[in-house]
């Protein structure tokens, strides 16, 4: 089989990088955070963006020397061995499926309910998941062909609505006075983790390094421009809606972005934002259905998950078992948890903690591989090494420590994230022992590259791409 062709330019890479990030859950987080912190949340978000840029630069370097779909799993197996590889992938993306998948589908359900009050949110969520289950098993690429238009459309829409509100154009009510910091500067600096959620997932373009033209330039540019444009669009919208609605309504609502748009632009604004939320949630869910099963498939291929996860549908050549597993992980919390605004934030920030741990591992991967393979070619090198990585790691530690301003909520977040993390560690230890594989012995870089080349030559399955 021929290797993947480099046919994706900058804008396709940009759409892939931002396609998962611009989601329904980030819109909820943005609006509720503005209600909690006030306009000063722009400071929290700016610091979070700088941290995200530092992390993105490390992913760009790692992808340039170990290009492949396994992403952080491949990088970490070469740097720190298979135990840490399992931790990095499952900590970042298994927990993503369990917590964020449910939150994203419920966001779409609540958005639909805002237009049709009698609709059942759980039924809408399950219907949406079933649609994407079928799409991805069949290998049908619906969103991929319009991903650039969809992503840019969402970003422009948020920006335009924000500009309307800030300049009092087409608004339904007059602007209200609002303090820059609603709960003091301590809350601003304790809300950086909420800001991180606005940008988390930008690294999803890294597995596409083999299909992007001039990847050493286009991938880091796509991530950095994606982060900057997301910051601008989100802040324009967030700073606008906080001027037209009581902040407590944003904090206590399950659809604060729709409530804010409605207060600012009236019923048409609420309907407009409902449609935007549905599109954003759908795009994000489709992205996760395309990306996460491939990671599970790759781990099973490498012997890090049961081999059933590497099963390919005999006709459509898609990883059917992995896709079904992701569907079940998305759906299970819908029946076990009552999705309130408080529970939504707990799910999001619990996933944020394990994802941040995965980010810390990636920073360590860069440091280890720079020392161990100092002389290999690096088409892209993270600037100011090792200071950017050290700053990135310390920033991640700070984010975990200050994950939420309220101690009681923080303990709930720690408890949920800690339970998942301990479970993943136990699984990694027992599975590798059962398979009689070394826990911390790094895979040689040359061996990993040979394995990836052989797999590319033999593999019949080319996973669904968001931006093809």
Torsion sign over Cα 98, 102, 105, 107? negative
Q: What is the pLDDT of residue 6?
A: 52
State the pTM of this model: 0.84
Q: What is the pLDDT of residue 452?
A: 61
* Residue tagged 């966001």 (tokens): 107
**CA–CA dist 347, 106 (Å, integer):** 12
Q: Which value, in Å, is the radius of gyration of the alpha carbons in the chain?
A: 21
- pLDDT tens string for the chain (468 positions)? 334 445 567 887 887 788 778 788 888 899 999 999 999 999 999 999 999 999 999 999 999 898 876 678 889 999 999 999 999 988 887 777 777 777 778 788 888 887 788 888 888 888 888 888 887 787 655 444 556 677 788 889 999 999 999 999 999 999 999 999 998 898 999 899 889 989 988 887 887 776 678 888 889 999 999 999 999 999 999 999 999 999 999 998 888 999 999 999 999 999 999 888 888 887 777 777 777 787 788 778 778 888 888 888 888 777 889 889 888 888 887 777 666 667 777 888 888 899 899 999 999 999 999 999 999 989 999 999 999 999 999 999 999 998 887 888 899 999 999 999 999 999 999 999 998 999 999 988 887 776 666 555 544 444 433 333
Q: Identify whether the C-beta of residue 241 lies closer than 8 Å to the C-beta of residue 260.
A: yes
**CA–CA dist 455, 189 (Å, integer):** 46
Q: Could you tell me the two tokens for 195?
A: 């800001």
Q: What is the pLDDT of residue 386?
A: 94
Contacts within 8 Å (CB) and 24+ apart, 388-394: 388/54, 388/57, 388/58, 389/54, 389/58, 389/363, 389/364, 391/54, 392/51, 392/54, 392/55, 392/58, 392/359, 392/360, 392/363, 393/360, 393/363, 393/364
Closest CA to 131 of 285, 27, 254, 355: 285
Q: Identify whether the C-beta of residue 359 lies closer than 8 Å to the C-beta of residue 91.
A: no
408 burial via Cβ count (<10 Å: 0-12, 13-18, 19+): exposed
Q: Identify whether the C-beta of residue 60 lies closer than 8 Å to the C-beta of residue 382.
A: yes
Q: Could you tell me the two tokens for 363?
A: 């920073």
**CA–CA dist 333, 25 (Å, integer):** 15
Q: What is the pLDDT of residue 371?
A: 95
**CA–CA dist 153, 326 (Å, integer):** 28
Q: What is the pLDDT of residue 140?
A: 52
Closest CA to 337 of 347, 348, 328, 349: 347
Q: Which fold has domain 10-458?
A: Amino acid/polyamine transporter I (1.20.1740)
Closest CA to 392 of 425, 418, 410, 365: 365
Closest CA to 94 of 322, 254, 370: 322
Stretch (H or E) spanning 375:
none
Instruction: Enumerate the domain spans of the chain.
Output: 10-458
């Amino acid at each position: 089989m021929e290797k993947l062709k480099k046919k994706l330019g900058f804008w396709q890479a940009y759409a892939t990088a931002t396609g998962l990030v611009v989601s329904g859950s980030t819109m909820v987080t943005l609006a509720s955070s503005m209600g909690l912190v006030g306009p000063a949340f722009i400071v929290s978000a700016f610091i979070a963006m700088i941290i995200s840029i530092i992390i993105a630069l490390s992913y760009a370097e790692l992808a340039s020397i170990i290009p492949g779909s396994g992403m952080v799993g491949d990088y970490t197996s070469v740097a720190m061995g298979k135990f840490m590889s399992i931790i990095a992938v499952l900590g970042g993306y298994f927990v993503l499926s369990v917590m964020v998948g449910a939150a994203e589908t419920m966001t779409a359900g609540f958005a639909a309910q805002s237009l049709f009050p009698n609709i059942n949110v759980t039924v809408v969520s399950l219907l949406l998941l079933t649609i994407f289950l079928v799409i991805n098993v069949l290998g049908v690429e619906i969103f991929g062909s319009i991903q650039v238009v969809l992503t840019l459309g969402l970003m422009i829409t948020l920006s335009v609505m924000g500009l309307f509100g800030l300049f009092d154009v087409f608004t339904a009510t007059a602007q209200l006075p609002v303090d820059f910091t609603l709960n003091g500067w301590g809350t601003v600096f304790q809300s950086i983790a909420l800001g991180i959620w606005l940008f988390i997932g930008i690294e999803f373009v890294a597995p596409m390094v083999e299909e992007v033209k001039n990847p050493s330039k286009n991938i880091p540019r796509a991530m950095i421009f994606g982060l900057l444009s997301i910051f601008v669009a989100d802040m324009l919208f967030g700073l606008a809606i906080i001027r037209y609605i009581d902040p407590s309504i944003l904090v206590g609502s399950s659809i604060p972005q729709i409530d804010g748009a409605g207060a600012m632009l009236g019923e048409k604004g609420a309907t407009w934002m409902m449609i935007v939320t549905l599109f954003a949630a759908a795009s994000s869910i489709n992205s996760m259905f395309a990306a996460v099963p491939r990671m599970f498939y790759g781990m099973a291929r490498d012997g890090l998950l049961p081999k059933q996860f590497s099963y390919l549908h005999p006709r459509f050549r898609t990883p059917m078992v992995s896709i079904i597993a992701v569907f079940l992980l998305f759906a299970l919390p819908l029946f076990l948890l009552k999705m309130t605004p408080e529970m939504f934030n707990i799910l999001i920030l619990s996933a944020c903690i394990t994802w941040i741990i995965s980010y810390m591992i990636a920073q360590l991967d860069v440091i280890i591989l720079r020392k161990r393979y100092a002389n290999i070619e690096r088409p892209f090198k993270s600037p100011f090494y090792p200071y950017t990585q050290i700053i990135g790691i310390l920033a991640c530690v700070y984010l975990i420590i200050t994950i939420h301003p309220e101690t009681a909520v923080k303990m709930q977040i720690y408890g949920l994230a800690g339970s998942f993390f301990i479970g993943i560690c136990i699984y990694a230890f027992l599975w590798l022992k059962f398979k009689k594989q070394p826990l911390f012995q790094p895979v040689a870089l040359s061996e990993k590259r040979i394995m990836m080349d052989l797999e590319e030559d033999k593999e019949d399955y080319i996973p669904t791409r968001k931006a093809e």
